[in-house]
Structure 1
Amino acid sequence: MKKGKIVSAEEAVRVIRDGDTVATSGFVGAGFAEEIAAKLEDYFLATGRPRNLTLVYAAGQGDGAEKGLNHLGHEGLVRRVIGGHIGLAPKLQRLIRENKILAYNFPQGVISHLFRDIAAHKVGTITTVGMGTYIDPRNDGGKLNELTKKEGEDLIKVIHLEGSDYLLYKAFPINVALIRGTTADTNGNITMEKEALTQEALAIAMAAKNSNGFVIAQVERIAEPGTLNARNVKIPGILVDCVVVSRPENHWQTFATPYNPAFSCEIKVPVQSIPPMEMSERKIISRRAAFELKPNMVVNLGIGMPEGIAQVANEEKVLDLLTLTAEPGVIGGIPAGGLNFGAGTNMEALIDQPYQFDFYDGGGLDVAFLGLAQADQEGNLNVSKFGPRFTGPGGFINISQRAKRIIFVGTFTAGKLKVAVEGGKLTVIQEGKEKKFLKRVEQVTFSGKYAVETGQPVLYITERCVFRLTPRGMELIEIAPGVDLDKDILARMDFQPVIRQKPSLMDHRIFRAEPMGLKDELLAIPLEERLIYYPEENLFFVNFEGLYIRTPEEVEKIHSLVEKILAPVGKKVYTIVNYDNFNIAPDLVDIYTDAVKHLVDHYYAEVTRYTTSTFLRMKLGEALEVRNVAPHIYESREEARKALKKD
């Protein structure tokens, strides 16, 4: 076999010169060229060269200790960092914190797109992603420390196009690309059949090649020229300058898993029976969040607390009704967690990360569930900086600004919080040491103001209450049973939330041990299909079978829809209401029956109701009687129809 482009790791890193801009691929550990990074570290420590590199990367790359970009965390080796996430590289963090190097955060998706734009010799990446956050140059411009704010150039600028403001992330040449694949032939063609992700390796290689730079690829094996299936080649050999064959210990699929064929889509594994989550604040939050799911939704789950939503969805047997995604390119299946985060099993498709962010940035996500670290009265969120510790946003800014709906999930306070659930009620046993709802967040990773301006629906879900974002700020809309509003919520906040009416109780099923029956609810008939008017009979049929009303907004929606249907009729109608298996939160009965009375007075000539539930007949009957509305509720549709008087 001819050697061709095959070189040792040491030979490869010697091509990197002082002052070079080096781009690396990888997501946590997946797709990261560990062999090359480790050899670059060894070479620097032995020779003091290369020096003053600019390091550019999209996703966080590291294990939080020694691996990944931690190999490059030496003073003198790196002069400037431009990255999406720094939390997994504490050695680089230290250099940034001590003002030893210049450091910038860009949103992860922006950097993955910027590599493509550099390859195409464009001026940069133009987008609205980052507007109103600390990435916005009208704020910090993504600059992470005092050294960068004092000496660093401005890499982002506001531009005005077609009547709107955008952010321009400026392009710059890439001198060296460090990428990874599975197999290379001696001509440098790269396949990725055993890799957990493909990421933006192709974009990085093109960016370097079109910058007259150098592309170094790490693989685990070599093939003869002409033996690789051309359709499987992800990086053409014309882009690759040299290939390094890694030692097995430096070519794990992720930093947690040496090799799992399910991660590389080679097999699909049975979804084993996962034990239900124990009742805890995490389960309460995940259960409440799961009520925001709808069939056929395309969903993104962030790392940490949001991962519990997938577990609850599995318990409730609704995973097959959703499409879960992860930002590096995973579509369908089950996203992995921990140091496997970014990978997935049983995927429907795996695409390159820049394309995934095209989909995300264009509004392809129906809903995203992301972590809640700090929030303030304007609805801003901070997940990127806490005192001297900073992590960066990763894909958070792209996802949170562009998803159709965003749900932030997290505990109400932080630090040794202990809660208990007994008899369907929540009790705070030990309050967390740190407040999370502050007058002003330390750094704006998500802009509440921008979300309001763009009309994006936003919820903030904790174990004891739920807020929604409004033009007036954060509105408290739900509270857990057993929680004291003043003592457990308002006293633990640095601002007064908007309270327009008495908060509803969070769904009682959240606080019970048994499954919530979410699948039946997700597959229930849409409200619009429950209301049918038959003009030939002047009959209005209301099918509330299996309906569960949990919020005042749902009551208002029912009232509005009925008015929308009946107002154009121009006369009162005969009405039958099916209340079989109907349920309503106890604190909403009065609101609901007030709405019913208004409809009876204005639109119904006669109305009959039926249900097999004795308890519901009694509960609703009493509430209707108080409002001078005929209270009798029949046991069957036949009885109700016979009782309906048509004169």
Structure 2
Amino acid sequence: MKKHITLQEAADLIPDGAIVSVSSSSGLGCPDAMLKAIGERFETTGHPRDLTTLHPIAAGDMSGIKGIDHIARKGLLKKILAGSYPSGPSSSEPPLIWQMVTGNEIPAYNIPSGILFDMHREAAAKRPGVLTKVGLETFVDPERQGCAMNERASAEPIVEKVTFDGETWLYFRSIIPKVAIIRATTADERGNLTYEHEGAYLGGLDQALAARNNGGIVIAQVKRLCKDGTLKPHDVRVPGMLVDYIVVDPDQKQTTQTPYDPAISGEIFRPLETFELQEFSIQKVIARRVAQELEAGSCVNLGFGISANVPRILLEEGLHGAVTWVIEQGAVGGVPLLDFAFGCASNADAYMPSPYQFTYFQGAGFDASLLSFLEIGKDGSVNVSKLAFRPHVTAGAGGFVDITARARKIVFSGMFNAGAKLSLSDGKLVIDKEGKLRKLVNEVEHVTFSGPRAIAQGQDITYVTERAVMKLTADGIMLTEIAPGIDLKRDILDQSEFPLIVSDRLKTMDAELFAEARIGLSLPAKPFRTLKGGQA
């Protein structure tokens, strides 16, 4: 059977009412041409209709790769389950998918990315579903929102709390895709897929297995075709036996606003001096203080935001390689990239399939995670996933819940208040005008991370801002450090909606953090791991 078909022919294969799984991470690995073909078919014929789509990580980025917005049409899309969603700047018109979600046009769910991958794996093995503790006491928990993003989703629950073997679990039933749309670089005539120009493998193999094992079809979008027998078997990441159809888009972008960069796909290594360092700023002060929380020899996860610049701090301080960075899209080591290329890394040690990276995170195999916050609650809970007045600016939780569920150490970073005008002078922080929006609130709008659960599990939680460092304790949030030049009462205690505990060992943050010169960072060595009983 000929596997290579046109985009239009592939779009014609998708039946009304199908459950369609799409492999993507924003612009990275997005089968954008295939999604566009489906949207065009609907505009012309009114079919396919009533699709349910699964997106372990967001499809599209609103910066040249529309992704899910190609099919965000009333009548075409019936329901959506995604780890995250395309976001846009507050000044722009919301993406079409956000208009459908906030307009309550379709049931929409924000499921942690790792759990969505787990659901595919369970469906592939024809098991009933996923039992997990990931998401307990957060918005994932049915005692809160149960992943629902709007009223229509609340009326159709997808997760329940159950007791199994004497313990409390969240249970997600398997969802069986009838179509999987994945992406690679090269396909041979038999459908074997290689990923040599991709910045990550993502979860294409798991998604293909879920569809194929349940009688569905797998459509692979690739950049190019080659003759059967010319691909090296060790390079094939999805075997042709799982691929039914191949479509070609020679212009597919490697990731957002990036046609092709061989350093992203690990084909070349960049000299370290070619990486741009962070300019001196308030955000750099925070990233420096976060870097002081690290240990040499550790494996550390990175999230989007201020913490994404911490690798550049180590690079500037001559400590590149002291820490192995791990990101949810699958890169291990190297230098995680910023802005449009976030989710990729240059000079990586390895690329893990994203589902297995999430297994690593869910089981807390790593040492620490550096993440951002939108709000911090009185109980230590953190919101990164919802702002009622700017919903489309937040992308959803992605892998945040998977990563934080059992992480041994988490450092959250962000600005103390939103909208404050700040400056730096003579190694001190100056607040020129206080922000109008407080971020330390009595109760967060959306619980993406549960402070009480962290206390119960003994997790080490630190919050780093430009003017203060705080720790989560069983008695509340304790202020441990303040910035030089800051008034404790006026600039910190009076700017929090809830009382902060002031440590009896309160100290001033290092003045070097607030000056332009390098800070002379040194990292203590991570303790040598031993097995119980003292065996190395």
Shorter-chain TM band = over 0.9
User: Contact conserved, 2:291 with 2:310, CA < 8 A, in 1?
Assistant: yes
Residue identity in the other structure for 1:346: N
User: Contact conserved, 1:179 with 1:216, CA < 8 A, in 2?
Assistant: yes
The 5 Å alignment of 1:476-495 reads 476-495=479-498
Task: Tell me, yes or no, if structure 1 residue 10 matches structure 2 residue 8.
Answer: yes
Shift of 1:173: 1.2
- Runs of 4+ with deviation above 3 angstroms: 273-279
Instruction: Tell me the residue number matched to 1:82.
Output: 81
> Which residues of structure 1 form unaligned runs of 5+?
527-647
The 5 Å alignment of 1:382-421 reads 382-388=383-389, 389=391, 390-415=394-419, 417-421=420-424
Separation in 2, partners of 1:290, 1:38 = 42
Instruction: Tell me the residue number matched to 1:163.
Output: 166
Shift of 1:450: 0.7
Instruction: Tell me the residue number matched to 1:289.
Output: 290
Instruction: Tell me the residue number matched to 1:62.
Output: 60
Match for residue 239 of structure 1 among 226, 242, 251: 242
In structure 2, the CA distance between the partners of 1:338 and 1:13, relative to structure 1 (3 Å rule), is: same
Match for residue 501 of structure 1 among 498, 501, 504: 504
Q: Aligned with 1:503: secondary structure?
A: strand
Separation in 2, partners of 1:123, 1:15 = 27
Instruction: Tell me the residue number matched to 1:309.
Output: 310
Instruction: Tell me the residue number matched to 1:120.
Output: 125
Separation in 1, partners of 2:385, 2:57 = 14
Instruction: Tell me the residue number matched to 2:425.
Output: 422
Residue identity in the other structure for 1:181: A
Residue identity in the other structure for 2:137: G
Q: Aligned with 1:467: secondary structure?
A: strand
Instruction: Tell me the residue number matched to 1:132.
Output: 137
Separation in 2, partners of 1:472, 1:362 = 27
User: Contact conserved, 2:5 with 2:247, CA < 8 A, in 1?
Assistant: yes
Shift of 1:275: 5.8
Instruction: Tell me the residue number matched to 2:531.
Output: none
Shift of 1:277: 3.5
For normalisation by structure 1, the TM-score amounts to 0.78
Q: Aligned with 1:287: secondary structure?
A: helix
Residue identity in the other structure for 2:30: F
Shift of 1:159: 2.0
| CA shift digits 1:262-316 (9 cap, x unpaired) | 1111111111255653432201111111110110110111112111212211111
Instruction: Tell me the residue number matched to 1:618.
Output: none
Separation in 2, partners of 1:401, 1:101 = 29
Farther-moved stretch of structure 1 (341-350 vs 156-165): 156-165
Residue identity in the other structure for 2:459: Q
Match for residue 464 of structure 2 among 453, 461, 466: 461
Instruction: Tell me the residue number matched to 2:205.
Output: 202
Instruction: Tell me the residue number matched to 2:530.
Output: none
Separation in 1, partners of 2:268, 2:428 = 44
For normalisation by structure 2, the TM-score amounts to 0.93
Q: Aligned with 2:21: secondary structure?
A: strand
Instruction: Tell me the residue number matched to 1:27.
Output: 25
User: Contact conserved, 2:83 with 2:113, CA < 8 A, in 1?
Assistant: yes
Shift of 1:182: 1.3
Separation in 1, partners of 2:407, 2:218 = 35
Task: Tell me, yes or no, if structure 1 residue 149 matches structure 2 residue 148.
Answer: no
| CA shift digits 1:58-105 (9 cap, x unpaired) | 112211356111212111111101010114382111101000000111
Residue identity in the other structure for 2:23: S
Separation in 1, partners of 2:372, 2:266 = 28
Residue identity in the other structure for 2:402: N
The count of aligned residue pairs is 517
Q: Aligned with 2:146: secondary structure?
A: coil
In structure 2, the CA distance between the partners of 1:181 and 1:279, relative to structure 1 (3 Å rule), is: closer
Shift of 1:433: 2.6
Separation in 2, partners of 1:275, 1:262 = 15
Separation in 1, partners of 2:44, 2:408 = 51
| CA shift digits 1:460-508 (9 cap, x unpaired) | 1000001111112211111111101111112211111122426211122
Q: Aligned with 2:273: secondary structure?
A: coil
User: Contact conserved, 2:119 with 2:175, CA < 8 A, in 1?
Assistant: no
- Aligned-residue sequence identity (percent) comes to 37
User: Contact conserved, 1:60 with 1:88, CA < 8 A, in 2?
Assistant: no
Separation in 2, partners of 1:279, 1:331 = 27
Separation in 2, partners of 1:56, 1:230 = 29
Farther-moved stretch of structure 1 (56-65 vs 392-401): 56-65
User: Contact conserved, 1:279 with 1:421, CA < 8 A, in 2?
Assistant: no
The 5 Å alignment of 1:210-221 reads 210-221=213-224
Q: Aligned with 2:325: secondary structure?
A: strand
Shift of 1:39: 0.8
In structure 2, the CA distance between the partners of 1:16 and 1:321, relative to structure 1 (3 Å rule), is: same
Instruction: Tell me the residue number matched to 2:187.
Output: 184
Instruction: Tell me the residue number matched to 2:92.
Output: none
Residue identity in the other structure for 2:111: F
User: Contact conserved, 2:120 with 2:175, CA < 8 A, in 1?
Assistant: no
Separation in 2, partners of 1:316, 1:441 = 36
User: Contact conserved, 1:216 with 1:240, CA < 8 A, in 2?
Assistant: yes
Task: Tell me, yes or no, if structure 1 residue 105 matches structure 2 residue 110.
Answer: yes
Farther-moved stretch of structure 1 (201-210 vs 72-81): 72-81
Separation in 2, partners of 1:409, 1:386 = 18
The 5 Å alignment of 1:375-386 reads 375-386=376-387
| CA shift digits 1:509-549 (9 cap, x unpaired) | 21233211113x546x98xxxxxxxxxxxxxxxxxxxxxxx
Larger relative contact order (Cα-Cα within 8 Å, sequence gap ≥ 6):
2
Q: Aligned with 1:499: secondary structure?
A: strand
In structure 2, the CA distance between the partners of 1:201 and 1:275, relative to structure 1 (3 Å rule), is: closer
Residue identity in the other structure for 2:139: Y
Farther-moved stretch of structure 1 (311-320 vs 497-506): 497-506
Instruction: Tell me the residue number matched to 1:47.
Output: 45
Task: Tell me, yes or no, if structure 1 residue 71 matches structure 2 residue 74.
Answer: no
User: Contact conserved, 2:470 with 2:480, CA < 8 A, in 1?
Assistant: yes
> Which residues of structure 2 form unaligned runs of 5+?
89-94, 528-536
Shift of 1:342: 1.1
| CA shift digits 1:345-394 (9 cap, x unpaired) | 10100110011111111112211110111011000111111015153100
Between Structure 1 and Structure 2, the one with more helix by share is 1
Q: Aligned with 1:504: secondary structure?
A: strand
Shift of 1:191: 1.3
The 5 Å alignment of 1:462-611 reads 462-501=465-504, 503-519=506-522, 521-522=523-524
Instruction: Tell me the residue number matched to 1:175.
Output: 178
Separation in 2, partners of 1:135, 1:500 = 33
In structure 2, the CA distance between the partners of 1:278 and 1:253, relative to structure 1 (3 Å rule), is: closer
User: Contact conserved, 1:375 with 1:382, CA < 8 A, in 2?
Assistant: yes
Instruction: Tell me the residue number matched to 1:578.
Output: none
Separation in 2, partners of 1:64, 1:497 = 40
Separation in 1, partners of 2:469, 2:274 = 31
Separation in 2, partners of 1:101, 1:486 = 47
User: Contact conserved, 2:374 with 2:382, CA < 8 A, in 1?
Assistant: yes
Separation in 1, partners of 2:312, 2:99 = 35
Instruction: Tell me the residue number matched to 1:340.
Output: 341
User: Contact conserved, 1:61 with 1:88, CA < 8 A, in 2?
Assistant: no
Residue identity in the other structure for 2:109: Y
Shift of 1:123: 1.2
Farther-moved stretch of structure 1 (507-516 vs 8-17): 507-516
Instruction: Tell me the residue number matched to 1:271.
Output: 272
